[in-house]
Amino acid sequence: MEQYKRLKRELIAKGAIIDYYQDTMLIPNGNQAKWDLIDHKGAAAVVAVQEDGKLLMVRQYRNALERETLEIPAGGLNGREEPTENAARRELEEETGYTCGEMELLNSIYTTVAFCNEKIDIYLAKSLKPGKQHLDEDEYINVEAYSLEELKQMIYQCKIQDAKTICAIMTYAAKVADERAAGQEN
C-alpha cells in the first residue's frame, strides 16, 4: 500500500467529550488533502446478563438523535490510561445499579473509522448483583430487561439502531449459539 503522510494537525475545537482536529495529509498521488479527525479517549460497554438470561438495557434521551434510544450500558473512559474493564464495571453500576462478578472481553470496535478514533471495548458481565444507580445530574436512565430473542427482533425491526448495541447483542448471540453447538457435540 502506498504511503500517506500527515503534514500538519490543527486543533479546531476542544470539547468535553471529543476534540476536533483538521489534518493536512500528503496522499500517495502527491496531492494534499484536508481530513477531519474526531479524537476520543475511548469507551467501554457491557452486555449484562441476568441469571434468567435477560439482558439489562438502558433507555435514555440522546441529543444527537433528538429521541430516546435503547442501548447497552456504556460510557467514556475517565482518561486514556483507565483500564476499560474498570470503566465497564463503573458504567454498569452507575447506569443500572448492578455490580457483577464475572466479566470478560466480548468484542472491541471502532465506531466510525472514516473520521473518528473512538474505540469501545465491550464486556460480557454475569453474576449480577442489584444495587443503586449512581447517575450524573444530567442523566435520566430507565433500566429494562429483555430476552436475547426480543433484542434480536428489535434489531431486525430497526427499533435498536445504536451500533455498539447491535454489535454487542449480535456478538453475544453468536457466542451463545456457538456454546450451544459445542455442548451438543459432546
Residues designated catalytic: 137
Is the distance from CB of 111 to CB of 39 less than 8 angstroms? no
Is the distance from CB of 30 to CB of 22 less than 8 angstroms? no
Is the distance from CB of 168 to CB of 105 less than 8 angstroms? no
Cell numbers representing residue 100 in the block: 457483577
Nearest to 164 by CA among 83, 57, 45, 76: 45
Nearest to 165 by CA among 68, 57, 40: 57
Is the distance from CB of 27 to CB of 33 less than 8 angstroms? yes
Calculate the alpha carbon distances from 15 to 37, 44, 50, 80 in Å.
13, 19, 36, 16
